[in-house]
Structure 1
Amino acid sequence: MNLIINGLQWGDEGKGKIIDFLTNFFDINIKFNGGTNSGHVIYYKKKKKILKLLPSGIFKKNCLFLLSNNVIINFENLIKEINQTIFYKKKIYLSNNFLVNNFINELLDYILDKKLKIGVTNNGITPIFIINSLKCSIRINNFFCINFLKKIKKIIFFYNIFFTFYNLRIKFYYKKIFFKFFIYFKKLKKNIIFNEKIINNKYKKIFESSQGSLLDFNNGTIPFVTSSYTNSKSVYVTSNFFLSNIIFLGIIKCYLTRVGNGFFLSKFSIFKNLLFSKYSNEIGTNSGRVRASGWLDLNILIKTIKTNNTINLIITKLDIFIFFKKIKLILNYFLKKNIINFEKINSYKVYSKKFKSWKKVNNVYFKNEKEFHLYIRFIEKYTNTSILIISIGKNIYDLIIL
C-alpha cells in the first residue's frame, strides 16, 4: 500500500506531525514537491525541529528518505539540515533530476515581488521555474556532465541580462559559482540515486507534499500561488510514479490560515487575528510572518477534496477551540448584484453555521463532549468525506484515530 498526504488549504495544516507519526508504518518517506519556501515543525525528543527540505519522518530509524524530482534544492540549506540528522545521513537519497537553487534566484525573487506584490518568501522559487521554462536551469545530473561549465555560462548570461534590464550594476562570474556548486556536490554525491529505483518498487511508501492544494500553480488561488504543482495527483507526472495502489489523504485545520497576500472570505478582523495568532502560534515557519486566520470554509474544502481525489480527511488543531465560546463554519456564499469589487467581505452573501465550543479534549473519541462530536460529524456529512485522524495537540501522540 502507498499513501499520499496532501494539505487541502494554503499550507500550514500540520502535515509534519501527521507524517512523522504515519512514517512508523512505512518503509520509504518521499517528498515530491516544494523547496526552502515551505517548512514543517517536528517535535523530536521534546525539542522543536524545523525542516524545510528533508521529509518529515526523517527521525525514524527504520525508514528510507527520498527527495524526488519536483523538489527545489538549495545545497547550503540541505547540508545544514542533514547535519542536524547526522545519524541518518546514509538513509537520505536525492533524485538525480531535481533543480538546484542558488542565492541569485533569491535576489531575483525579491526584485520581482516588489513589482508583482504576491507576498512570496523570497527563496528563489519563481525565478528557478522561469529559468527552467527557458531550458537553461541547472539540475543535479548536469554535474556529471563534461559540458557543465557551458551550462553555468548560459545561466549567468541570463542573470546579467535580467539585472541590466532593471538598471542594476551587478555582474556574476561563472567560475566562482561553479566552484561553490562543485564543493557542495562532492559532499552529497554518494546520496544521489536514480529516482525510479526507489519510487517504483514493492516497498510501502508515504508521499509527502510540502505545501497546500490552494497554492497549486494551476488550480490554486492565482496569482497568489507557488510556482510548482502541489496537488496530490502531480506525483504521477513530477516523480514518475506509476503504481496504482495508492490512497489519497487530505489534511485540514479546523480553521483557515494563509501567509502572503490574497483575499479569503472568512478572514478575522485585524485585532481578532492578532489575538488569535498569538494564542494559537500562527506564525509562518519559513517566513516568520503572522498568518491571516479565519473560519473553516467548507465550500473551498469540497473543491480541493475533488481535485485531489481525497478519500479520507485528517483534521488538526481541535485543541485551539477550547477557549472559544462559539465557533463557525462557512457553508456557501454568493456575490451580491451590481458588485464590482469582489475582494471585500461585504460584497458577498454568506451562509454559515454556528456551533458551541468544547471545554476539553480527550484522546479517546467517545469521551469528548457532545459539541465536539457535532462539529466533527457535520464536516463529514457536508463534505461527504469521513475523518480518519483528529489531532488535539502538538505532540506526536496527541491524536484520535477513528
Structure 2
Amino acid sequence: QESVQLCGRGEGEICESSRGKIDAGNKVTVVLGAQWGDEGKGKVVDLLATEADFVCRCQGGNNAGHTVVVDGKEYDFHLLPSGIINPKSISLIGNGVVIHLPGLFEEGDKNEKKGLKGWEKRLIVSDRAHLVFDFHQVVDGLQETERQAQEGKNIGTTKKGIGPAYSSKASRTGLRVCDLLGDFKDFSTRFKNLVQQYQSMYPSLTVDVEDQLKKLKEYAERLRPMVRDGVYYMYEALHGPPKKILVEGANAALLDIDFGTYPFVTSSNCTVGGACTGLGIPPMNIGDVFGVAKAYTTRVGIGAFPTEQLNAIGELLQTRGHEVGVTTGRKRRCGWLDLVIVRYAHMINGFTAIALTKLDILDVLDEIKVGVAYKLNGKRIPHFPANMDVLHKVEVEYETFPGWKTDTSAARKWNDLPAKAQNYIRFIENHIGVPIKWVGVGKSRECMIQMF
C-alpha cells in the first residue's frame, strides 16, 4: 500500500508519483450506545470481536459496565475492552480513556479467575491516557454530597472519579501514563501538587501521599510492558496490512458531555467523535457505525426520562430484564422504547445499522408501546430538547402494538420470531430510518439473531 512520500524535496512537498494516491488505510467499525447506556454493547462487541484484530476503548473509565457471556461464564468489564475475550485480538485502551490502575488490575485478575487467560499480553495502553487516582474517587463522592446539600439533588455519578479526573485533564494539572513511567521524582512532585489543589477545595480530603506513591510505583512496573505510543500504534494498525479494527464506545449518546441530557451526563464524548479524539483516528478511517438500543428504555440515576413507567410495567421490565447496573449495583429505571432519543442519537452518530437487544423481555406483555414524538403544550416539538426543564414537561406520543405472547429466547433466525415481533422490529427500523442488523433474545452471543 502506497503512502505519501516526501522524496527529499523538503518538508511538505509531495512527490508527483504519489499525488492523488493518498491511502486512507483500514476502516474502523464503531459500536456505540443509542440510549442512556446499558444497551448490551458488550454483547455486540463480543460478537464482532471474534473476527477482530484490534478492539479499542476510546473514552470513559471504569464507570462503564459491559457484561459478556461466553460458554456459560459471565465476564464483567469496566476498563478492559470486551474484546479481550478473544485470544487472537489485541485490546487497546486509548488516550481518551481515564484509567484507575487499581481498578484495571483488580478487574483483570477477577476475570482471570473466571477463565480469562493471558489478558496482560494482549492489552496495549496509550501513554497519553490520563490517570484516575483514589482521591479523585473520594472527591467524586464529596461533590455529590455538596450538590445534594446545595441544590437538593445530585447527578447520580458512579463515584469512580471520572468527572474529577477529566476536570484535572481540562485544567492541565492531570497526570498521564507517560508521566508515571517517566521521571518518578517529577511525577511525585506533580502528584503532591494535585493533591494539595484538591485539598484546598475540599479541606476534609485526607490522602496518605507516600502510601499512594508507593503503590503507584508498583503499578507502574506492572503496567510498563503494556504501554505504547497510542498515536503511532494506531496509525500502523490503520495503514499496515488489512486489519479488522473495532472501537467499543462506553456509556451512550444521551450521556455524552455535549449532546446528552446535561448535566446528568458523563464527562466524555461517547458519540462517534470520541472515537477520533480518543484514539487518534482520522474521520476518513471511520467505517460502519453500529448503534445499540434495547427494545425498551432504561436509565441509571436521576434526570428526565419521558417514557419511564413508574408502575407494574416498569417493575416487570426491571425484574425480567435483571436491570441492575453492572458498575453501581443500582436498579435501572425502566420504560417504553423512546424512538425520539434513538433518532436523535442517529442524527449525531450516523448509524449504518442498529442492534436491538433484549427483545425477549417483552415476550409476556399483552401490548407494547413505543414513544414516537414529544408534545409540549399540546403541540409536537420537532427536536429533542436541550433544556432539561423542558424535557421534564414533554408529553410522549405513543404507537401501541399487540404483544406476541410467545417465548422468543430460543429464536436463532428471523423466521423463528413471531409475526407480531417482526412487525414491532420493522416499525422501529422504518421510524429511525436505519436497518436493524441484529436482534438479541438472550444473554449469550448465540442469542444474537443476524438479520443480514
Shift of 1:82: 2.3
In structure 2, what is the Cα distance between the partners aligned to 1:215 and 1:207?
18
Q: Could you tell me how far apart the structure 2 residues matched to 1:31 and 1:76 are?
A: 18
Where does structure 2 lack aligned partners over 5 or more consecutive residues?
Answer: 1-26, 148-153, 380-387
Deviates more, 1:92-101 or 1:155-164: 155-164
Residues 130 and 176, structure 2, Cα contact 8 Å, conserved in 1:
yes
Contact 1:360–1:368 (CA under 8 A) maintained in structure 2: no
Does the aligned pair in 2 maintain the 1:209–1:230 contact within 8 Å?
yes
**Does structure 1 conserve the Cα–Cα contact (< 8 Å) formed by 2:90 and 2:122?**
yes
1:331 equivalent in alignment to 2:362? no
Please, which of 281, 296, 302 is the counterpart of residue 261 of structure 1? 302
- From 113, 125, 132, give the equivalent of 2:162: 125
Give CA deviations for 1:75-123 in whole Å, capped at 9, x if unaligned: 1111122222342321111111111112111111111112330111111
Hey, what's the Cα distance between the residues in 2 that align with 1:211 and 1:143?
27
Letter in 2 for 1:360: D
Offset at 1:239?
Answer: 1.5
Paired residue for 1:177? 212
For 2:303 and 2:208, locate their aligned partners in 1 and report how far apart those are by CA, in whole Å. 38
1:239 and 1:269 map into 2 onto residues whose CA distance is 40
| Superposed displacement of residue 62, structure 1 | 1.2
Cα displacement string for residues 9-41 of structure 1 (whole angstroms, at most 9, x for unaligned residues): 100000111111110121101011121111111
> Does residue 1:161 correspond to 2:221, yes or no?
no
Distance in 2 (CA, whole Å) between partners of 1:401 and 1:271 is 32
Shift of 1:244: 2.3
Decide which moves more: 312-321 or 44-53: 44-53
Tell me the TM-score normalised to structure 1 length: 0.94
Once the two structures are TM-superposed, the CA of residue 343 in structure 1 deviates from its matched residue by: 5.9
**Partner of residue 235, structure 1:** 275
1:373 aligns with 2:422: yes
Structure 1 residue 184: deviation in Å? 0.7
Q: For 1:356-401, what per-residue CA distance to the aligned partner results, in whole angstroms no more than 9, with x for missing partners?
A: 1221322120232211111111111111111111111111111211
- Structure 2-normalised TM-score? 0.84
Q: 75-84 or 24-33: which moved more? A: 75-84
Give, in whole Å, the separation in 1 of the partners of 2:105 and 2:246: 23
Structure 1 residue 217 corresponds to structure 2 residue 257: yes
Is 1:391 the equivalent of 2:440?
Answer: yes
CA apart distance, 1:175: 2.7
Decide whether the 8 Å contact of 2:61 with 2:78 is kept in 1. Answer: yes
Moved more, 227-236 or 258-267: 227-236
- 1:23 corresponds to: 49
Please tell me whether the aligned partners of residues 31 and 66 of structure 1 are also in contact (alpha carbons under 8 angstroms). yes
Q: Is the CA contact (8 Å cut-off) linking 2:60 and 2:267 kept in structure 1? A: no
AA aligned opposite 1:301: V
**2:57, 2:97 within 8 Å by CA — same for their partners in 1?**
yes
Say if 2:146 is the partner of 1:115: yes
Greater CA radius of gyration, 1 or 2? 2
> CA–CA distance in 2 between the matches of 1:270 and 1:37?
28
Measured after TM superposition, the shift of residue 61 of structure 1 is 1.4
Q: Give secondary structure in 2 for the equivalent of 1:10.
A: coil
1:153-174 Cα distance to aligned partner (Å, 9 max, x none) = 211221220222xxx2x44353
Q: SS in structure 2 opposite 1:381?
A: helix
The code of the aligned residue for 2:222 comes to K
Give me the whole-angstrom Cα distance separating, in 1, the residues matched to 2:202 and 2:348.
39
1:246 to 264, 287, 292: 287
Provide the identity percentage: 26
- 2:403 aligned with 1:364: no
Query: 1:90 and 2:121 equivalent?
Result: yes
Q: 1:141 aligns with which of 168, 178, 188?
A: 178
Residue 298 of structure 1: aligned partner:
339
1:238 CA drift (Å): 2.4
- Preserved CA contact (<8 Å) 1:156 1:173: no
Q: Which residue of 1 aligns with 2:60?
A: 34
Runs of 4+ deviating beyond 6 Å: none
Corresponding residue for 1:198?
Answer: 233
Quick check: 2:129–2:177 contact (8 Å CA) kept in 1? yes
Pair 266,171 (structure 1): closer, same or farther in 2 beyond 3 Å: closer
Please say if residues 3 and 249 of structure 1, whose CA atoms lie closer than 8 Å, have aligned partners that are also in contact: yes
Q: How far apart in 1 are the matches of 2:390 and 2:280?
A: 40
Alignment RMSD (CA, Å): 1.8
Q: Is 1:103 aligned to residue 140 of structure 2?
A: no
Q: State the SS of the aligned residue for 1:65.
A: strand
Alpha-carbon distance between aligned partners in 2 of 1:90 and 1:122, rounded to the nearest angstrom: 30
Which position in structure 1 is the counterpart of 2:100? 74
Does residue 273 (structure 1) correspond to residue 314 (structure 2)? The answer is: yes
Q: Letter of the 1:308 partner, please give it.
A: N
- Unmatched tracts of structure 1, length 5 or more: none
Given that 2:354 and 2:434 are in contact with CA atoms closer than 8 Å, whether structure 1 keeps it comes out as yes
Q: CA-to-partner distance for each residue in 1:106-149, whole Å, 9 max, x for gaps? A: 11111111233011111111111222222111110002333212
- Matched to 1:237, the amino acid is T
Q: Retained in 2: the 8 A contact 1:131–1:137?
A: yes
